[in-house]
Structure 1
Amino acid sequence: MTKIILTGANGFVGSRLFSQLEHHPKFQVVGLCRRVPQGVSGSTLHAVGDLQQADLSTFLTGVDVFIHSAARAHIMRDEVADPLAEYHRVNVEGTLSLARQAVAAGVKRFIFISSIGVNGNINTRPFIADDQPNPAEPYAQSKWEAEQCLTQLAAETGMELVIIRPPLVYGPFAPGNFGSLVRWIEKGVPLPLGAIHNKRTLVGIDNLTDLIIRCIDHPAAANQVFLAGDGEDLSTTQLLRSVAKAMGRPSRLIPVPAVVLQLGATVLGKKAVAQRLLGSLQVDISKTRHLLDWTPPVSVDEGLKRCFSISKD
């Protein structure tokens, strides 16, 4: 049986992955998090406080695979004095500290959940795993720096490294941009996004966790970078309509030309918001499919249905 350590085991991605690994016959998992959520009990989920300062030697005995999903992610209203330095402390220095402990304990494989932001945040052709990195934001920059540190450590020590770069992840109770989109539709607010013809790749939580699990012991995953995605690209207009349909609500979209929205966003100082809604960000998962013999098991329509069927339970 493969023994696994998972950080961020109470986060959005980590909690779903932790649940699946707990019930998997091939794996034994120990989940680590800053604090155990209230009402959660059990011997396989442990609070270790600040991972950047944690000594994990107690948990690492006999571990085969280390999955690092914990991170300082996008924070819309950052209150720290130096956000860039804090991203570096947590996502670069903290990741390297954990990886060094994994090496010392004899861990065979380290799986790092990175971000498509390492490739960039907009494109005119789909990103591939071997593209020259072009991170445009502090979060993505810290992920790229962490990738470089891990690659060097793996080369020096022989520990296998797997890097996975997901785009926007959606699922039940998803935070961030997807959660904001859901709240707009719930409120029934008319949105001027009925004529957007961009293309964006997303990844459903079940597809992402399925990919991570495939990387745990697949021989071809060693020392590779993989891009994640559903294999179906949607425009912002299509996404809003699909989400509304899955929720059983009207989409209330007004067809305003993208160029008008872009101009208005520039005047209001909201260029970054407009870029996420109007720009394209496509991901080519051909390498992931072929090297791992992997196909996303859940369609976008089914993934969106699961978001709200679970929410209603």
Structure 2
Amino acid sequence: MELADKSVLALRTAERELKDKKCLVTGAGGFIGGALLKRLRDIGADALGTTIDQTECDKLRSKGHRAAVFNLKNTQDAVPLLEDVEYVFNVAAMFNETEASEAEYFEVNETATLAFAEAAYQAGVKRFVHVSTVGVHGDVMEIPATEESPFNPMDVYHRSKLAGERAILMMARELGEDEMVITVNRPAMVYGPGDMRQLKLFRMIARENFVMIGSGTTLAHFGYIDDQVDSLLLSAVAPRDQVHAEAFNIASGKPITLNDAVRVIAKALDMETPETRLPLGPVLLIARLVEIICKPFGIRPPLSRRRVGFFTHNRAFDLTKAKERMHFEPRVELPQGARTTVEWYRERNLL
């Protein structure tokens, strides 16, 4: 049987296995968590999504979802939410909070995350899928990077996520063969309908004000949202001996240069490929100065070194482990995904 056939079969099996099962999705107010919650509902799972504030919770309820407010830092609040839950997808994290301290990042993404996993274990949860990030590999030191490639986190978010997944995996290795199965899922640059993070890139190209910083030969590896959700479902039901205490890098298709990515997105927008470029050095200096100016006022800087990292950090991943261990096979290449994403943006007048 071909890998694509095995992937389809594995995915359909996952959907059947999760049907009617009680699931909990943290971070359901975000892009990945929200898409996962919708898929679980669509396949008939009894899914509850949590958000950190009431406004996001109300939005989910208005869409017909079961939802509750939950902050990872308040572990005791998880106890009633976890009652009779079999599958937990932990997507919640502190992300892109430039005004937060390093200690706050580690409190949420490591300490609170581990405490939540322990609460899930105590509640009798069957499967715990923790969402980390390929950013733990940072500017990859091997091309393409595997799950065993050196870690190279580039900022506090990635450092704290690495600490969190290490704590989770250490816990997993201490569990018995008939106890909770723990898997770490590392998404790449996820995009697609509903995404607001990559909107800025699409919008700049659409409005002819995109500027390439540096050579544009840096590698990027995108992950379409449907593929990402597929991987989470597969992570939750794959045989224990294939996924327990394991981490998986997840993306779609193959890595491409930023030059090629911009060309593909421009084509999806029916635009000419932008040609304007700026040298890297001066932009990095300006980004650092903007960060220094904004920090005392608690303002999120409009330009930061993390954002400039989009143009400088190679992100290229080998997906062999996910394909072999849980039959994950990406279905959406960037040209198709970009067109679908553009359509979604245009329907909402976002471009």
Same fold per superposition (TM over 0.5) = yes
Distance 1:86 1:203 in 2: 28
CA contact (8 A) 2:27 2:51 kept: yes
Equivalent residue in structure 2 for 1:198, among 218, 223, 231: 218
1:287 counterpart residue number: 321
Where does 1:166-177 land on structure 2 (aligned, <5 Å)?
166-176=187-197
Compared CA separation, residues 42 and 167, structure 1 to 2 (3 A): closer
Aligned to 1:253: 275
Q: C-alpha distance in 1, partners of 2:118/2:329?
A: 33
User: How far apart, CA to CA, are the structure 1 residues paired with 2:212 and 2:62?
Assistant: 46
- The answer to whether the Cα contact below 8 Å between 1:68 and 1:112 also exists between their aligned partners in 2 is yes
CA shift, 1:310, in A, is 2.2
User: Which residue pairs with 2:124 in the alignment?
Assistant: 106
Structure 1 40/115 Cα, relative in aligned 2: closer, same or farther at 3 Å? same
Give the stretch that moved more between structures: 126-135 or 98-107: 126-135
Alpha-carbon distance in structure 1 between the residues aligned to 2:205 and 2:67: 37
**What do the CA deviations read for 1:116-154 (whole angstroms, capped 9, x no partner)?**
111223445211011232222111111111112112222
* Alpha-carbon distance between aligned partners in 2 of 1:6 and 1:282, rounded to the nearest angstrom: 28
Q: List 4+ stretches of structure 1 deviating above 6 A.
A: none
Q: What is the deviation of 1:60? A: 1.6
1 CA distance for matches of 2:32 and 2:40? 12
Match 1:244 to one of 253, 263, 266: 266
Please tell me the residue identity of whatever aligns with 1:241: R
Distance 1:261 1:93, change over 3 A: same
Instruction: Answer yes or no: is the 8 Å Cα contact 1:193–1:253 preserved in 2.
Output: no
Does the CA-based 8 Å contact 2:194-2:344 persist in structure 1?
no
Q: Distance in 2 between matches of 1:137 and 1:267?
A: 17
Q: Which residue number in structure 2 is paired with residue 11 of structure 1?
A: 30
Distance in 2 of aligned mates of 1:307 and 1:115: 22
**TM-score, length-scaled by structure 2:** 0.79
**Matched residue pairs, number?**
303
Matched with 2:40 is 21
Offset, 1:190: 5.3
Correspondence list, 1:152-231, <5 A: 152-158=170-176, 159-176=180-197, 178-189=198-209, 191-192=211-212, 196-219=216-239, 220-231=242-253
Gap change, CA 1:101 and 1:274, over 3 Å in 2: closer
Q: Tell me which amino acid in the other structure corresponds to 2:270.
A: G
Corresponding residue number in structure 2 for 1:147:
165
Alignment correspondent of 1:58: 80
1:1-56 residue CA offsets vs partner (Å, 9 max, x unmatched): 4321110112111111110110114x321111123144833775222242311512
- Matched residue type, 1:20: R
Q: 1:112 to 1:247 in 2, by over 3 A?
A: same
Once the two structures are aligned, what percentage of the paired residues are identical? 25
Deviation at 1:229, TM superposition (A): 1.0
User: What does the per-residue CA deviation read over 1:79-130, in whole Å, with 9 as the maximum and x for residues that have no partner?
Assistant: 23xx211111111122112111101111121101101111223445211011
In the alignment, the residues of structure 1 paired with residue 286 and residue 346 of structure 2 have an alpha-carbon distance, to the nearest angstrom, of 37
Q: Distance in 2 between matches of 1:42 and 1:273?
A: 32
Gaps (5+ residues) in structure 2? Answer: 1-19, 289-304
Q: Per the alignment, in what secondary structure is the counterpart of residue 221 of structure 2?
A: strand
Deviation at 1:312, TM superposition (A): 3.2
Q: Tell me how far apart the structure 2 counterparts of residues 42 and 239 of structure 1 sit (CA, whole Å).
A: 33
Distance 2:310 2:141 in 1: 11
Q: 1:232 aligns with which of 244, 254, 257?
A: 254
Q: 1:182–1:190: structure 2 CA closer, same or farther, 3 Å change rule?
A: closer
Report the AA paired with residue 309 of structure 1.
Answer: E
The aligned runs of 1:19-168 (5 Å cut-off) are 19-25=38-44, 27-34=45-52, 35=54, 36-38=57-59, 40-41=61-62, 44-54=65-75, 55-75=77-97, 78-80=98-100, 83-158=101-176, 159-168=180-189
Q: TM-score, normalised by structure 1?
A: 0.88
Q: For 1:269-305, what per-residue CA distance to the aligned partner results, in whole angstroms no more than 9, with x for missing partners? A: 5665444214422111111111112210112111111
